[in-house]
Amino acid sequence: TAGPTYEAIDPVRFIGNHSSGKMGYDIAVSAANLGASVILVSGPTNCKVQSSLIEVIPVVSAEEMYKACHEYYADVDVAIAAAAVADYRPKIMASQKIKKAAEEFTIELEKTKDILASLGAIKKKQFLIGFALETENEIENAKLKIQKKNLDLIVLNSLQDIGAGFGKPTNKVTFIDKFFNIEPMDLKSKEAVADDILNKVIAFFYE
């Protein structure tokens, strides 16, 4: 998965986030470069990819992303969740544009489905990789996420590292596997981080 999700407030407004989608698209390209057939479930982004090995499934909301992921999951060997999925969505989507009226306006939110956790819960043969964006107790929180979502590997992103994160061409990640082996990586281009992630996949299947 790649990109943000947009959660509709009314026909012209949504709740979204700053994810560019670049990390997820770079992972898809790295996998295709190794000869993999890739299904790229993508939220709204400006990223583009041209490869006969990559099928892009465009989605908008977390619910659409959930459905698309579950449609393909049974047949994949590896699933990598790089999307910045909205954790909450408006409880009600107004069918007409909301008009400006009162001084204050409250939108009630409800939780979206956790796509990655739902894939972990039904995991069979798949090697399942998630991302974690933490700002405090990073390693401990990432370890908890591995257990909670039944992951094989987590890619921990730190916003505290200069040059890492949303909208940047570079990223600094730490890999933590399900045995809690911790491997901090250097700051590098997102393309190089994508290659590192695919090398972890190769190591799992072939070493």
- Contact status: 197 vs ligand CTP (CB under 6 A): no
Query: Which residue in 32, 59, 79, 81 binds ligand CTP (CB under 6 A)?
Result: 81
C-alpha 181/C-alpha 204 separation (Å) is 14
Query: Which residue in 131, 138, 143, 158 binds ligand CTP (CB under 6 A)?
Result: 131
Q: Is 171 in the active site?
A: no
C-alpha 115/C-alpha 156 separation (Å) is 18
C-alpha 104/C-alpha 181 separation (Å) is 49
3-state DSSP assignment of residue 183: strand
Query: Which residue in 29, 83, 173, 176 binds ligand CTP (CB under 6 A)?
Result: 83
- Contact status: 153 vs ligand CTP (CB under 6 A): no
**Stretch near ligand CTP under the rule CB under 6 A, chosen from 71-79, 90-98, 130-138, 158-166:** 130-138
- Contact status: 186 vs ligand CTP (CB under 6 A): no
- Total residues belonging to the chain: 207
State residue 47 phi and psi, 5-degree precision.
-65, 145
CB contact set of 103 (below 8 Å; sequence gap of 6+): none
- Contact status: 2 vs ligand CTP (CB under 6 A): no
Residues that bind ligand CTP (CB under 6 A): 1, 62, 81, 83, 85, 87, 112, 114-116, 130-133, 145
